[in-house]
Amino acid sequence: MIPVCLLVELPRGEAYRLDIDPPVSVFHTDDGEVFAIDDTCTHQDASLADGWLEGCEVECPLHASKFDLRTGAVDAPPAKRPVRTHEVFVVDGMIYVQPSTEAPNLPPCIAARLAGEPA
């Protein structure tokens, strides 16, 4: 489990970008729920933490594909594949993320870099 930040440090409607590899973003929704997904849009290297949070969805700031924070599912192109979701725990006011063990769906250049190829 990876500690993220104190819940009180993450206001509702905002996101925290966890700088691990690949990065994960943690969202605190307007309804008070906390979700974690891969930070990188599956279409192009854009940070979803910089995107627009609405309800349980985040819209990629670059090309407007929306991802469901609960399932990682994408609504419409240009992104076609879902993002990974990660388990979140809040213990004594501290947010923790349990990274998924599934393979991530990263955009081509990042996937190549993670595989050790030149980006």
Residues that bind other proteins (CB under 8 A): 17, 23, 39-40, 44-47, 50-52, 61-63
33 or 50: CB nearest other proteins: 50
51 or 72: CB nearest other proteins: 51
| Residue spans of beta strands (DSSP E) within the chain | 2-6, 14-18, 24-28, 34-38, 52-54, 57-59, 66-68, 85-91, 94-98
- Nearest approach, Cβ of residue 60 and other proteins (Å): 8
- Nearest approach, Cβ of residue 47 and other proteins (Å): 5
52 or 89: CB nearest other proteins: 52
Q: Looking up tokens 């974690």, which residue turns up?
A: 36
13 or 89: CB nearest other proteins: 13
Residue 21 CA to residue 82 CA, distance in Å, equals: 18
Task: Tell me how crowded residue 62 is: count the other CB atoms within 10 A of its CB.
Answer: 17
